[in-house]
Amino acid sequence: MRYFEAFGLSFLHALKNLLPIILVVLLFQLLILQQMPDDSLTMAAGLIIVALGVALFLQGLELGIFPVGKSLSNQFARQGSVPVLLGFGFSLGFSAVVAEPALIAVAQQAEQISEGRIDGLTLRLLVAASVGAVTALGVFRIIFGHPIHHYMIVGYILVVIVTFFAPQEIVGLAYDSGGVTTNVVTVPLIAALGIGLAASIRGRSPLKDGFGLVAMAVMVPMISVQLYGTWVYSQPTPAEGFLDSGADHSEEPSPPVLKVLLDLATMVRDVLPIIITILFFQYLVLRRPLANLRQVVFGFVLVIVGLYAFVIGLKLGLFPIGASMAEQLVQQHNQLLIYLFAFLIGFATTMAEPALLAIGRQAEEAAAGQIHAGTIRILVALGVAIGITIGVWRLIHGDPIHYYIIGSYLVVILLTLAAPRYIVALAYDLGGVTTSEVTVPLVTALGIGLASHIEGRSVLIDGFGLIAFASIFPIITVMLYALWGEWCSRANRTEDSV
């Protein structure tokens, strides 16, 4: 019975996260555009299915993945074996990201738009391997007490250098791939690993040293995906006949039951790395049986079914809403309406982001009064809203994304050098948790829809990139707030000393 109660709460929570999107869309449709899309009932059904899928997925995480992941993290932290901790960090990062719903959505869109040149599965495996490697590196940093800003500054300098040489078709996708790696699965697991490890090592601060793993998980995929794109677009274009042949086969009808079974098998494949990681470390490394085995198995079943419902709901609801809104707004020939919609969607969805709520609470506890969770949410939501609006400005005017991204990260690097040390790791992590399982598909569809309906824009070159802006600007707003707070403190101390 408690499972049904918990599922009901998760479903209501998922609907609550969808509510800001629904309100913004209805505001524009009824009051500004004064029209509703023809397939609005199908979109509404898709949104309900998305909420159902997210609820099942979250319930599965709570029952199966999170308890086991936290237990493993605590046991390895107590053992203190550096090689085992690094191996566990890699495996945890890889297995969590490869099953990330938002990454699945972006990879599917990229494969479709690039006509198969970018392989969706390869992209996901590459991003997952990058997150695994950087999670291990982050664990190494915490163990040996290295300052986070050294890693971040060097990393983003590499990002900027690679961006100079990467083909324009891959830049926006690469930054979006980095932005969607940290979400409903990865943030709680990776954040718990970092904070728990810092708390268990003498001389480490949970605030200064425990945060930062999420930020590093965002950064490295940007580099690896751009390198992958550089290789892909240096290869000859596939022959027309090959592409046509593929299209013909994809149109062959398949029985609905078989299609459902194949889709569920795909979801099992997506979650399989997490299962293998947990079983390997639990039984072969720690040599201990799993507690509550039936509950864990039931949790994994819910994760698989939830992922399936989530993907179906995306195709019916969020993707069509983003595309439809983009088309209608472009037809109004009023750029201010497009900017207003982008700003409101960015702010409203971020304020309801569950990963942001979790990180905000953890930061408030670790900071002992220096930071307030409510202030953090407003700063991050404002940063996301500004970032998406600037990204839409770039898309509308057709400016190269390189200049905006490089310029933004140069500002981030300068702020990193100037900001108080206690805020740096947290600010980077907050940039990584702004893109939710609901926000990513909608914003991605909005970007692709705008690029599809604005003359002279390429869907592949211009359609991606909005997620990247949503990840960068919260870092800037949080660091600026910390600098302002420090300046106010100094001014007050000066007045008191006079």
Q: Is residue 249 part of a domain?
A: no
Among the listed residues 77, 81, 83, the one whose alpha carbon sits nearest the alpha carbon of residue 209: 77
Are 220 and 132 in contact by the 8 Å Cβ rule? The answer is no
244 pLDDT tier (thresholds 50, 70, 90): very low
Q: Which residue has the higher pLDDT, 387 or 289?
A: 387
User: Measured between alpha carbons, how far is residue 245 from residues 238, 239, 248, 366 in Å?
Assistant: 12, 10, 5, 57
Q: Which residue has the higher pLDDT, 432 or 400?
A: 400
Is residue 257 pLDDT above 80, yes or no? no
- Convert the pLDDT of each residue in 78-133 to its tens digit: 776 788 888 888 988 888 787 776 677 778 878 887 778 888 888 888 988 998 99
Is residue 392 pLDDT above 90, yes or no? yes
Q: Is residue 30 part of a domain?
A: yes
Report d(CA 10, CA 61) in Å as an integer. 11
- Determine if residue 369 is left, alpha or beta; phi over 0 gives left, psi from -120 to 50 gives alpha, anything else beta: left
Q: Is residue 497 part of a domain?
A: no
Least confidently predicted of 168-172, 205-209, 473-477: 205-209
- Convert the pLDDT of each residue in 469-488 to its tens digit: 888 899 999 999 889 988 88
3-state secondary structure (DSSP) of residue 310: helix
Q: Is residue 247 part of a domain?
A: no
Least confidently predicted of 112-121, 147-156, 249-258, 410-419: 249-258
Are 307 and 99 in contact by the 8 Å Cβ rule? The answer is yes
Q: How many distinct structural domains can be found in the chain?
A: 1
- Convert the pLDDT of each residue in 139-152 to its tens digit: 888 888 888 778 88
Could you tell me what percent of the chain has a pLDDT over 90? Answer: 6
The whole domain housing 107 covers: 2-234+254-491
Amino acid at position 98, single letter: V
Q: Is residue 27 part of a domain?
A: yes
Report d(CA 441, CA 169) in Å as an integer. 20
pLDDT for 431 equals 78
Are 324 and 27 in contact by the 8 Å Cβ rule? The answer is no
Q: Averaged over 24-48, what is the pLDDT?
A: 79
User: Measured between alpha carbons, how far is residue 385 from residues 351, 433, 443 in Å?
Assistant: 10, 14, 11
DSSP H helix total and E strand total for the chain: 22, 0
Q: Averaged over 324-348, what is the pLDDT?
A: 86
- Determine if residue 287 is left, alpha or beta; phi over 0 gives left, psi from -120 to 50 gives alpha, anything else beta: left
Q: Is residue 244 part of a domain?
A: no
What mean pLDDT, rounded, does the chain reach? 78
Least confidently predicted of 226-240, 335-349, 425-439: 425-439
Please state, as a whole number, how many other Cβ atoms lie within 10 Å of the Cβ of residue 72.
Answer: 22
Q: Is residue 122 part of a domain?
A: yes
The model's pTM is 0.71
Q: Is residue 496 part of a domain?
A: no
pLDDT for 473 equals 92
User: Measured between alpha carbons, how far is residue 425 from residues 59, 172, 208, 381 in Å?
Assistant: 29, 24, 6, 18
324 pLDDT tier (thresholds 50, 70, 90): confident
Among the listed residues 212, 270, 220, 305, the one whose alpha carbon sits nearest the alpha carbon of residue 96: 270
| Contacts of residue 250, Cβ cutoff 8 Å, sequence gap at least 6 | none
Q: Could you give the count of Cα atoms lying within 13 Å of 325 in the half-sphere of its Cβ?
A: 29
